[in-house]
């Protein structure tokens, strides 16, 4: 859309009663549930069911025999999930639960931008809500990672939480794709919209579940990876009354003055262009031992990330690159802008103050208001741990919120689990650690069981691409 025009006060006004209801609901019986178990609500879905999602411009409800990706893939491609959006995010060999019948609601909220072509709608602010027939009274929300769409976490998050009995909701965040920076009128508008779309879905999904089952969710959790992890952090800092806790998987750190993308990605652009050395990369924050991942990130991540986020926050720096579009072909989209090789110097210049002010609109503070478990891989080569996860943990401590936080540095974890084959004796998948963290969060919130202490979690011996133990299990204790 040209801009996110709805002022925050308007969203607060139409959702005020719902927010008060959420606060009251959280005071109810302490049973969000980690599985169907006692207190589960059983309602068998039928083809005649039509779920009402307040505020949605459009909704389509489907009664399905299996809401997990295994079942959704039996339908025509793109009908209920988009495998192309989630397949690159997990390791081959990862095992997921199946066999969860229920309802899927696909819909969208009013919006004027059109980057999301899913279902042929050409309409942003699309969402998916999945409601299992056996509901444990809980809800899990996520915002899409990167600039992906609403189905991006279907394998990573949806399958697992549905099998636990939770309802699941995900949003495309209001803009998608490499041209996301075109959405909005002011620098930072596109990212600012992400916040409002998650809040909007949280309120609407809770109301939809109350209408469907006759009672509001007893627990509401957040879970997200990369930009989705950033949104978990932001929501728990700024909208804590809506949630009971969250799991932040390698969330992006946005701060006004750094560290942030603009303080280290220009070095990666220089390295890509042959203007920087490995020593320069290490000095910028890229981990020793991550070198086998560099060629992939050089080809697919560093250049496009730097140029599109710089265009979002500083469109005047190089109006011609990326310009009106990040590219019309994959090579064009992925290619770095040569001007970005000097962007860190410009960012440090006092004349760049408007960029810092644009970042301040969407930056994190560390002042979380509900329990948060953070996971970050020590070999993350897009969001290096020393510049993202480590810094955010210190921010939380500085904000005197450390009692609400646990931080797990996963030895051998990187940004994308599908890259295990690039260094299988050193890398390990992050997905099983996310699952362990989610169960630890719900036990902490619902049963008062303290999660393991913050730690660097050592990598077990084995092949990260083929060893079933590494692919499907993870302990968060420092003993491995």
Note the pTM of the prediction, 2 decimals.
0.92
Question: Tokens standing for 357?
Answer: 């002010």
What pLDDT is attached to residue 254? 98
Helix axes 8-26, 189-213, angle to 10 degrees: 40
What pLDDT is attached to residue 11? 35
What pLDDT is attached to residue 4? 33
pLDDT, mean of residues 14-38: 36
pLDDT, mean of residues 17-41: 42
pLDDT in tens, 122-156: 999 999 999 999 999 999 999 999 999 999 999 99
CB contact set of 270 (below 8 Å; sequence gap of 6+): 276, 280, 341
DSSP-derived 3-state class of residue 130: strand
pLDDT in tens, 358-406: 999 999 999 999 999 999 999 999 999 999 999 999 999 999 999 999 9
CB contact set of 310 (below 8 Å; sequence gap of 6+): 262, 317, 318, 337, 340, 343
pLDDT in tens, 236-247: 999 999 999 999
8 Å CB contact between 171 and 126: yes
How much of the chain, in percent, has pLDDT values that exceed 70? 91
What pLDDT is attached to residue 118? 98
Instruction: Tell me which of 18 and 310 has the higher pLDDT.
Output: 310
**pLDDT at 66 > cutoff 70:** yes
**pLDDT at 475 > cutoff 70:** yes
DSSP secondary structure letter of residue 465: T
What pLDDT is attached to residue 480? 54
pLDDT in tens, 193-237: 999 999 999 999 999 999 999 999 999 999 999 999 999 999 999
Instruction: Tell me which of 211 and 17 has the higher pLDDT.
Output: 211
pLDDT in tens, 160-181: 999 999 999 999 999 999 999 9
pLDDT, mean of residues 415-444: 98
**pLDDT at 24 > cutoff 50:** no
Going by pLDDT thresholds of 50, 70 and 90, the confidence category of residue 38 is low
Instruction: Tell me which of 22 and 437 has the higher pLDDT.
Output: 437
Whose tokens are 């919130």? That residue is 445
Going by pLDDT thresholds of 50, 70 and 90, the confidence category of residue 478 is confident
**pLDDT at 37 > cutoff 50:** no
pLDDT, mean of residues 240-268: 98
DSSP letter string, 311-351: HHH-TTS-TTSSTT-S-SSHHHHHSPPGGGGGHHHHHHSGG
8 Å CB contact between 160 and 34: no
How much of the chain, in percent, has pLDDT values that exceed 90? 91
Instruction: Tell me which of 55 and 17 has the higher pLDDT.
Output: 55
Average pLDDT, the chain: 92
8 Å CB contact between 69 and 86: yes
Whose tokens are 């308007």? That residue is 10
Residue in 477, 249, 283, 275 with CA at minimum distance from that of residue 380: 249
Return the sign of the alpha-carbon dihedral for residues 440, 446, 448, 454.
positive
pLDDT, mean of residues 246-274: 98
* Rounded Cα distance, 82 and 19, in Å: 32
**pLDDT at 9 > cutoff 90:** no
């Amino acid at each position: 859309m040209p801009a996110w025009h709805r002022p925050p006060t308007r969203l607060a006004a139409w959702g005020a009663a719902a927010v008060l209801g959420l606060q009251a609901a959280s005071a109810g019986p302490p049973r969000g549930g980690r599985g169907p178990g006692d207190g589960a609500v059983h309602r068998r879905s039928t083809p005649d069911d039509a779920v009402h999602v307040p505020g949605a411009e459009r909704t389509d409800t489907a009664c399905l025999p299996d809401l997990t990706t295994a079942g959704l893939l039996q339908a025509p491609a793109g009908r209920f999930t988009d495998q192309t959006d989630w397949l690159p995010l997990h390791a081959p060999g990862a095992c997921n639960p199946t066999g969860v019948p229920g309802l899927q609601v696909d819909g969208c909220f009013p919006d004027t931008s059109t980057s999301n072509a899913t279902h042929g709608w050409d309409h942003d602010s699309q969402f998916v809500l999945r409601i299992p027939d056996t509901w444990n009274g809980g809800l899990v929300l996520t915002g899409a990672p990167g600039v992906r769409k609403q189905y991006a976490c279907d394998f990573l998050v949806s399958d697992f939480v549905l099998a636990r009995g939770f309802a699941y909701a995900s949003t495309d965040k209001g803009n998608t794709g490499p041209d996301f920076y075109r959405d909005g009128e002011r620098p930072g508008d596109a990212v600012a919209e992400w916040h409002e779309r998650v809040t909007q879905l949280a309120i609407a999904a809770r109301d939809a579940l109350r209408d469907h089952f006759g009672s509001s969710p007893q627990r509401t959790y957040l879970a997200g990876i990369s930009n989705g992890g950033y949104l978990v952090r932001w929501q728990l800092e700024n909208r804590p009354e809506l949630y009971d806790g969250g799991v932040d998987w390698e969330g992006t750190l946005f701060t006004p003055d750094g560290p942030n993308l603009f303080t280290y990605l220009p070095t990666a652009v220089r390295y890509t262009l042959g203007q920087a050395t490995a020593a320069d990369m290490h000095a910028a924050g890229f981990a020793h031992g991550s070198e086998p991942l560099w060629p992939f990130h050089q080809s697919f991540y560093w250049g496009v990330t730097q140029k599109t986020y710089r265009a979002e926050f500083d469109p005047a720096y190089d109006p011609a690159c990326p310009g009106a579009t990040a590219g019309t072909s994959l090579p064009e989209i992925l290619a770095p802008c040569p001007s970005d090789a000097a962007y860190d110097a410009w960012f440090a210049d006092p004349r760049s103050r408007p960029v810092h002010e644009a970042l301040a609109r969407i930056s994190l503070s560390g002042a979380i208001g509900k329990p948060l478990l953070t996971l970050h891989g020590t070999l993350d080569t897009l969001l290096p741990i020393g510049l993202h996860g480590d810094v955010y943990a210190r921010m939380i401590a500085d904000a005197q919120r450390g009692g609400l936080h646990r931080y797990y540095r996963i030895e051998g974890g990187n940004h994308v689990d599908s890259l295990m084959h690039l260094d299988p004796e050193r890398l390990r998948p992050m997905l099983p650690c996310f699952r362990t963290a989610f169960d630890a969060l719900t036990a902490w919130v619902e049963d008062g069981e303290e999660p393991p202490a913050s730690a660097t979690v050592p990598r077990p011996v084995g092949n990260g691409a083929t060893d079933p133990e590494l692919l499907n299990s993870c302990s968060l204790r420092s003993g491995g």
